[in-house]
Amino acid sequence: MMSEKSARGRSAMGDKGASVAVVNCGELVTLAGPARARVGRELQELGIKKDAALLVLDGRIAEVGSYNDLRARFPAGIEVVDAGGRVVMPGFVDAHTHLVFGGDRVSEFVQRVGGKTYQEIAAAGGGIVSTLRKTREASEAELADAALRHADWFLRGGTTTIEAKSGYGQTVESELKILRVIAELKERTALRMIATVLAAHVVPPEFKQDRAGYVRLVTEEMLPAVAGHMLAQYCDVFCDEHAFTVDEARVILTAAKRRGFGLRMHVEQFASDGGAQLAAEVGATTADHLEYTERAGIDALKAAGVQPVLVPGSVFALGRSKYPDARAMIEAGLAPVLATDFNPGSSPMTSMAFVISLAALYMKMLPAEAIVGATMNAAASLDMADEVGSLEPGKQADFVIHEFRDYREIAYYVAAPMRPQVYVAGRRVA
């Protein structure tokens, strides 16, 4: 896991990034401040500089300030980009995606439109298990080709870093296959990626009568193999009704922690069953979903310093109405993260701008709070707060020139057909 951490700051497109000066930024949303997750009032402090400029040298931010202050320090011949008075902000950091999978679930989508529930479809052999089958059958090249198409969608939407989970294999070899694809994608796309082994996503059909056997496979074979190949930084478990129990999740996460993995969890998407408390108990970095989490769960997360990762897109795309209680979490002092939960079943969406609109409309998060959740707080949840998530000297020059002139328009114009100019390490990538 050390090698992943040392390698990830580097741009996939070369050891050094590019140099560029961006001038005439109407609102330069810096998010300047401590390199850690933000809470409470900090969630409304975006560090906006008006009529500002940004100097990028070799892929990193060198200076932020007024054009008059900075221009004397522009190196001769540097490319100068005119932002046209528009909003410039850090690239989005999406801390929860299932990027790599075989096939799609378009037919199931149509079944759900016709009235079937997610659980009914899963009980009939659809759902995660159908993607499991297709992912096991797919070659690495097929998986990579499909994932590259989606990686491009992330970049075009202004997302420059994602967390990417495995989880559609659930055998040692197929999980390694997915994680190798993620490792390969890091070299083939400008999108930065942090890999997570989602060791326990669904009980695979061959272990339906032997759940304990699957837990043993994970702890005794899968996690040692993934750690041995240094293919993932985090381990995740789906702890919920129809997935893994609190006791099963505890066994897996405890073993993962012993092997040096950071911990992330899918909890309380469909029921309040103690998943949030388990995330606190095992010292998880994040607890994701939390649609059904109540006061006791929120208090436990606060006491243990666990970051909530909220994925309103999956609530929306499942046609459900129970969103996580973001206001209670913010008032309790938690550091919320927003993410797409991009996956072929419950959340086929890559747009963080749309997730920000959903967070505002259905979770009553202010546009500023949602933007912090989609940048700095997400970066902190991936242990990357010193590299990405804000525009400050020394950080990676991963930024987006939006078409808006006021940052609040990102939440306000729902699903606007944006064509942001996206830069990773100072290079235009979309």
Residue 238, classed as helix, strand or coil, is strand
Nearer to Zn ion, 54 or 265 (CB): 265
CB nearer Zn ion, residue 27 or residue 341: 341
Nearest residue to the partner Zn ion, using Cβ: 341
> String of b and e for 302-319 (b: at least 16 CB within 10 Å)?
bebebbbbbbbbbbbbbe
Using CB under 5 A, which of the segments 132-140, 249-257, 317-325, 334-342 binds Zn ion?
334-342
- Residue whose CB is less far from Zn ion, 163 or 398: 163
Site for Zn ion, residues 341 to 400, rule: CB under 5 A: 341
Give the C-alpha separation, 77 to 71, whole Å.
12
Q: Which is nearer to Zn ion, 73 or 322 (CB)?
A: 322
CB 57 within 8 A of CB 100: no
Cα angle: 181, vertex 187, 188; to 5 degrees: 80
Of 166, 95, 162, 90, the residue nearest 311 (C-alpha): 95
| Region of 24-32, 301-309, 337-345, 385-393 interacting with Zn ion (CB under 5 A) | 337-345
Q: Which is nearer to Zn ion, 291 or 341 (CB)?
A: 341
CB 179 within 8 A of CB 197: yes
Nearer to Zn ion (CB atom), residue 238 or residue 423: 238
For residue 163, state whether it binds Zn ion (rule: CB under 5 A): no
318 backbone dihedrals φ, ψ, rounded to 5°? -85, 0
- Report, in Å, the least distance between residue 128 CB and Zn ion: 10
Site for Zn ion in 132-161 (CB under 5 A): none
- Nearest approach, Cβ of 361 to Zn ion (angstroms)? 21
Q: How far is the CB of 98 from Zn ion (least distance, A)?
A: 6
Q: Which residues contact 206 (CB under 8 A, 6 or more apart)?
A: none
Question: In 284-375, which residue ranges form alpha helices assigned H by DSSP?
Answer: 295-304, 312-317, 326-331, 352-363, 367-373
- Residue 370 CA to residue 178 CA, distance in Å, equals 31
Which span sits near Zn ion by CB under 5 A: 8-16, 110-118, 155-163, 335-343? 335-343
Cβ(101)–Cβ(344) below 8 Å: yes
Q: How far is the CB of 279 from Zn ion (least distance, A)?
A: 14
CB of 354 to Zn ion, least distance (A): 17
Calpha distance 110→116 (Å, rounded): 9
Nearer to Zn ion, 49 or 289 (CB): 289
* Size of interface with Zn ion, in residues (CB under 5 A): 1
- What is the smallest separation between the CB atom of 166 and Zn ion, expressed in angstroms? 12
Least separation in angstroms between residue 181's CB and Zn ion is: 17
Residues that bind Zn ion (CB under 5 A): 341
